[in-house]
């Protein structure tokens, strides 16, 4: 008799296709990515959402997405109503994939009654993908990182 090797990837049985579809549909309802946000903002006019940088003032000063509202995670509950219209969806971001500040800010916004999504990748991937950012000195743009940015100027084809 041959022993069947179960690799770590499959130690827990995969979800059914229906369960997987429900999971990924839900994930897309709560997340967006840097490229989609950049495309919407570059289209001009009202994108239909406001971008909120949930990082510290020191981080904001190092660079932020043009047009973003600065509202650190710890201040969302206290200041959101004075700064943002509850009828306009919010997209939160923080430093990057290793930080959960945007998720914590999104939770606070949701608990306050805002429609909200988290921007995956955060400011790190905004810069790494070559999108323009602001500092107190003006606007800047870095060359796209070939490991993170699509070769054809922002469209990875997905």
- 46 belongs to a structural domain: yes
- 79 belongs to a structural domain: yes
Helices assigned H by DSSP within the chain: 17-30, 34-42, 57-62, 76-83, 101-111, 122-128
Which range of 9-23, 124-138, 139-153 scores highest in mean pLDDT? It is: 124-138
Q: How far is CA 40 from CA 47, 50, 51, 130, in A?
A: 6, 11, 11, 16
Report pLDDT digits (tens) over 64-117: 999 999 999 999 999 999 999 999 999 999 999 999 999 999 999 999 999 999
- 123 belongs to a structural domain: yes
| Tally of domains in the chain | 1
pLDDT above 70: residue 3 = no
- Please tell me the predicted confidence (pLDDT) of residue 14: 75
Among 4-8, 47-51, 132-136, name the one with the lowest average pLDDT: 4-8
State the residue range of the domain holding 69.
31-140
- 157 belongs to a structural domain: no
CA-CA distance, 100 to 18, in Å (whole number)?
Answer: 29
> Confidence class of residue 127 from pLDDT cuts 50, 70 and 90?
very high
CA-CA distance, 143 to 80, in Å (whole number)?
Answer: 34
CB-facing half-sphere around the CA of 125: CA atoms within 13 A: 22
> Confidence class of residue 1 from pLDDT cuts 50, 70 and 90?
low
- 1 belongs to a structural domain: no
- 156 belongs to a structural domain: no
DSSP state of 128: H
The sign of the torsion formed by the CA atoms of 28, 29, 31, 32 equals positive
- Please tell me the predicted confidence (pLDDT) of residue 106: 98
- 14 belongs to a structural domain: no
* CATH number for 89: 3.40.250.10
Q: Say whether pTM exceeds 0.95.
A: no
**Two tokens, residue 136:** 């107190």
DSSP state of 114: -
- 2 belongs to a structural domain: no
> Confidence class of residue 24 from pLDDT cuts 50, 70 and 90?
very high
Residues 31 and 93: beta-carbon distance below 8 Å:
no
pLDDT above 70: residue 138 = yes
């Amino acid at each position: 008799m041959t022993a069947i090797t179960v690799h770590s990837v499959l130690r827990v049985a995969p979800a059914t296709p229906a369960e997987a579809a429900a999971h990924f549909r839900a994930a897309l309802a709560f997340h967006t990515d840097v490229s989609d946000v950049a495309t919407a903002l570059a289209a001009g006019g009202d994108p239909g959402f406001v971008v909120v940088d949930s990082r510290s003032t020191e981080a904001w000063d190092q660079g932020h997405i043009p047009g973003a509202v600065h509202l650190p995670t710890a201040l969302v509950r206290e200041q959101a109503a004075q700064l943002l219209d509850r009828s306009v969806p919010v997209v939160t971001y923080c430093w990057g994939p290793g930080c959960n500040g945007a998720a914590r800010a999104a939770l606070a916004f949701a608990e306050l009654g805002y429609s909200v999504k988290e921007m995956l990748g955060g400011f790190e991937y905004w810069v790494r993908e070559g999108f323009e950012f602001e500092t107190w000195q003006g606007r800047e743009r870095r060359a796209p990182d070939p490991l993170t940015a699509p070769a054809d100027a922002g469209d990875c084809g997905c």
